[in-house]
Structure 1
Amino acid sequence: MVEKDLRYVKNIIDFGEKALKTYSRVNNDVEYLEDDYDLYNSVLMSLVQLGENANLLSDKFKEEHSEVNWRKHIKNRNFYVHVYGAVNNRRLAEYLQKDIPQLIEYLYGLRM
């Protein structure tokens, strides 16, 4: 793994874990999350940073690890940045409860 990619992968794991940790503070309930402005912003900012780091991964790395839907993480980043007020809570909850844990597990499995 190229050193830059390694750094981005570690960042993705870190921001994913931060988003999940913050989300757990409202018992993984997106409705409660939305009611807490600071926690909501914290989760979304972590997801934005996760997507930003996914975007910075080399094309070679993304091709070698095509099991991951990198495009989804990058598109979510762009959506959260540009259409912040229209975040669908059901999709956000699914992303946090399914996609982020799967991504973290996959990246940990690379044995960096």
Structure 2
Amino acid sequence: MGNRDLEYLDNIIDYCDKVENILNEFDSNYDEFIVNDIFQLSCSMCIIQIGENVDRLSDNFKENYNHIPWRSIKDMRNIMTHKYESAEFDVMWYALTVEVPELKEELVKLKNINL
């Protein structure tokens, strides 16, 4: 794993941590999420940054760890960036509460294996 890939992994993990912190701040309350713009926008910015850093990972890295849905992560970033008003709350919520923690867990394992 190259230093640049490691840097991007660290960034992604950091934004996964930020999602966790935001969810904790709002008590992981879906009802609050669908009505609170600050909650939504904070989480959306993290999703965007996760996707940006995924896009910067080397192709070689992504090919070596192709069990991670890199394309889906980037697609979610694109929705948050370009079609935010059409984003579905239940899809966003699932990404925030299930997929982001799973991504973080997997990336922490990869990082530990490669250090």
Q: Same fold (TM over 0.5)?
A: yes
Deviation at 1:50, TM superposition (A): 0.4
Instruction: List structure 1 segments (4+ residues) > 6 angstroms apart after TM superposition.
Output: none
Alignment identity in percent?
Answer: 29
What residue is the counterpart of 2:91 in the other structure? 91
3-state SS of paired residue (1:51): helix
Alignment gaps of 5+ in structure 1: none
Shift of 1:21: 1.3
Q: Which residue of structure 1 aligns with residue 102 of structure 2?
A: 102
Instruction: Say if 1:11 and 1:53, in contact at 8 Å, map to a contact too.
Output: yes
Residue type of the alignment partner of 1:52: E
Q: How many matched pairs? A: 112
Q: Does the 8 A contact of 2:50 with 2:77 survive in 1?
A: yes
Q: Which runs of 5+ in 2 are unaligned?
A: none
State the Cα deviation string for residues 46-77 of structure 1 (Å, max 9, x = none).
Answer: 11000000011000000111110000110000
Look up the match of 2:36.
36
Q: CA contact under 8 A between 2:34 and 2:40: conserved in structure 1?
A: yes
Shift of 1:19: 1.4
* Alignment check: 8 A CA contact 2:43 2:96 kept: no
The answer to whether the 8 Å contact 1:8/1:56 transfers is: yes
TM-score using structure 2 length:
0.91
2:73 alignment partner in structure 1: 73
- Which amino acid counterpart does residue 77 of structure 1 have in structure 2? R
TM value normalised by structure 1: 0.93
